[in-house]
Amino acid sequence: MFPLFSAEQIRSAEKTLLDQQTSPDELMRLAAGHVAQIAREMLPAPGSEALQGVWDEGTQRAIVLLVGPGGNGGDSLYAGAELLKMGYRVQAYAVAAGRRVKESAKKAYDSAGGQWVEELPIGPEAALVIDGIAGLGSARALPEDVAEFLADARSFRVPVLAIDVPSGVNADTGETPADVTVHARGFEPADSLWAIQRVPAHVKATTTITFGGLRHAHALSAWCGKVVLVDLELPTEGQPAPLKLCDELWKVSDDIPRYFEPIAKIEVRGQQGSSGVPISTGLPFAAEPGPLDHKYTGGVVGICAGSEAYPGAGIFAAVAATRATSEAVRLFSPPHQVVHFTPEALLTAASLTDSLPPTPTSSSPHALVIGPGRGTGDVQARELQAALGSTLPLVLDADALTLLAEREELMQAVRSRKAFTLLTPHAGEFARIAPADIPDPGSDPMRATRALAKTLNCSVLLKGRSSVLASPSTVAIVNAGSSWAATPGSGDVLAGVLGAYVARATKAIKDTEEYFPALAEAKRTDRTPRGSAAQDASEFDAHIFAEHILAGLHVHAVAAKHAATATYPTFNGENLGIASAQSTGAPKDGAHTGSQARFPAELRSGEAPATALGIAYAVSSATAALTHSTN
């Protein structure tokens, strides 16, 4: 887990170090040294054959610096000076109007023999692009010539190193500007139709280097690529230890979102302060039942998902739930096909409306999942109304969200609930259930999700590659690390996993109350424990539910990655499917002909599209991988 910081918090912490500099641009030079080191690691050695020019083999391809007028531009110029000293060819292009750049950094670059260009090269002439255009406070669209150059470079797989945040990406929201239309260079008149292109108006980085702590965009935007986090340590006179940016961040920051990576993509270097070091998640992944446990003690989940018209949703949710934990899964009026996939599940033919006991028993559900593939008619509305009227924790997904959007009485029931409620919309569903005054989740997903959670007095999970989980008081982001879950039925799988984990949370809450009887008494009498900083004792429950939901999101993300991993055989070092010797009638040296002509030399793995059922079945292996990594 990483803390996330806003641009304002970063600037405030940086000011402390800037005020303690003992030489001009001292902090900028420190940052530039790290930029140059990362750039060096992304490149072949100077003078190597891999850097030979496309048109002139006697010329090295250049490192291209995109230089803005501010601090990031200064970082890139100082880094360019370091790379020139290493023996690389470097070209700088001033992006701002009037070719404005930081003069002190320009002087250092010029003194090292740096070259300036008036026109950007074509893509294949670049070995690496360093993005020093914009700082934290700017998310403006790139100039058309820069956007065209970057699109050209990307088509030739030229790597891009961004400083802080890729230019054009909003540091606080991850939002990007609209694409721009450019006239691509290098096309003959006869091919002019291909020259008019729509290209991104922001940088798509291969690697982003950032300092002190992660910005919001590092969690919300896929365009940062691999993120390398390093600290800036400023020596101070008369002090035994240097000033560290990561330490200063904690002094100026409050209300810090948490960021989780089930599949690690952040690389941390040399961090000794706490703002940059990944904190152990400690999430409550499903574990072996205790010696006195049985199928009902750990939290039974009830699932109202699927229908005869949409049986798949019920199957995906049920399979995922049965594999997520060891506890029982109870299915209410499921489609008949479900039993063939989950014979372990307990089937209840009657509807939830008719079979939900007024007071939960040991074998009745301790939490409910309502909505995937269920339908939006009157019967389903009554089912949802019964669930909302219960004291059970709820996970509301898909058709349940549609019913909330269509029926105000159901939405009002959500607002007035005291029991835990989790809504799990994707962006389209979010737009349908959110009032008009809620921010656009596409523009500011964290603020939008928290605002909806406050408005509806519940928890909200805005699903996506980077999912945002918000309660009225907290927010966390889970980056799945891949997009393989973008497949039909994957959301139903997630609903089943989350339902199982929310049911499991009820057992954790009960255990906590038994261990801390004063806390249990405070909850019963609705008073805050003496000396507690919590607003009320129910916040302890909300925290437990949130931790279990985060664990479920980790399981789903890793399961999607597992389901997209395929093993394939190779034959004599070749992929199966490549024409073999006997197909031409000429066996290779010593090879037998016939049905056993060639045997697999080895098995290799790669990635291929995942299916929802594959993700559901992979929940078990994902849990094993996550629990192993935390032991």
- CA–CA distance, 460 with 395 (Å, rounded to integer): 10
Sorted by sequence, the CB contacts under 8 Å of residue 595 that are 6+ apart come out as: none
User: Is 491:398 a contact under the CB 8 Å cutoff?
Assistant: yes
Q: How far is CA 598 from CA 212, 579, 591, in A?
A: 55, 12, 7
The response to whether 19 counts as a known ligand-binding position is: no
- From the list 195, 193, 196, the residue with the least C-alpha distance to 181 is 196
Structure tokens at 189: 């008149």
User: Is 514:520 a contact under the CB 8 Å cutoff?
Assistant: yes
The response to whether 496 counts as a known ligand-binding position is: no
List helix spans (H) across 87-196: 103-111, 144-155, 192-195
List helix spans (H) across 475-618: 490-515, 517-525, 538-563, 612-617
By CB neighbour count within 10 A (0-12 exposed, 13-18 middle, 19+ buried), where does 599 fall? exposed
Structure tokens at 458: 């519940």
- CA–CA distance, 136 with 169 (Å, rounded to integer): 9
The response to whether 172 counts as a known ligand-binding position is: no
CA angle 228, 233, 238 (to 5 degrees): 175
The response to whether 467 counts as a known ligand-binding position is: yes
By CB neighbour count within 10 A (0-12 exposed, 13-18 middle, 19+ buried), where does 453 fall? buried
- CA–CA distance, 253 with 213 (Å, rounded to integer): 11
User: Is 581:574 a contact under the CB 8 Å cutoff?
Assistant: no
User: Is 285:555 a contact under the CB 8 Å cutoff?
Assistant: yes
Give CA 507 to chain center in angstroms.
Answer: 29
The response to whether 548 counts as a known ligand-binding position is: no
- From the list 460, 552, 462, 550, the residue with the least C-alpha distance to 500 is 552
In 3-state terms the chain splits into helix, strand, coil percentages (rounded to 5) of 40, 20, 40
HSE at residue 177, side-chain half, CA atoms within 13 A, is 20
Structure tokens at 475: 């927010």
User: Which residues is 144 bridged to in the sheet?
Assistant: none
By three-state DSSP, how is residue 557 classified?
helix
List helix spans (H) across 7-160: 7-18, 26-42, 71-86, 103-111, 144-155
Structure tokens at 293: 């446990």
- From the list 553, 559, 294, the residue with the least C-alpha distance to 422 is 553
User: Is 252:14 a contact under the CB 8 Å cutoff?
Assistant: no
User: Is 183:195 a contact under the CB 8 Å cutoff?
Assistant: yes
By three-state DSSP, how is residue 554 classified?
helix
The response to whether 74 counts as a known ligand-binding position is: no
The response to whether 185 counts as a known ligand-binding position is: no
The response to whether 313 counts as a known ligand-binding position is: yes
- From the list 211, 170, 248, 247, the residue with the least C-alpha distance to 29 is 211
The response to whether 629 counts as a known ligand-binding position is: no
The response to whether 251 counts as a known ligand-binding position is: no
By three-state DSSP, how is residue 396 classified?
strand
Binding residues for AMP: 463-467, 491
Binding residues: 313, 373, 426, 463-467, 491-492
Binding residues for (6S)-NADPHX: 313, 373, 426, 492
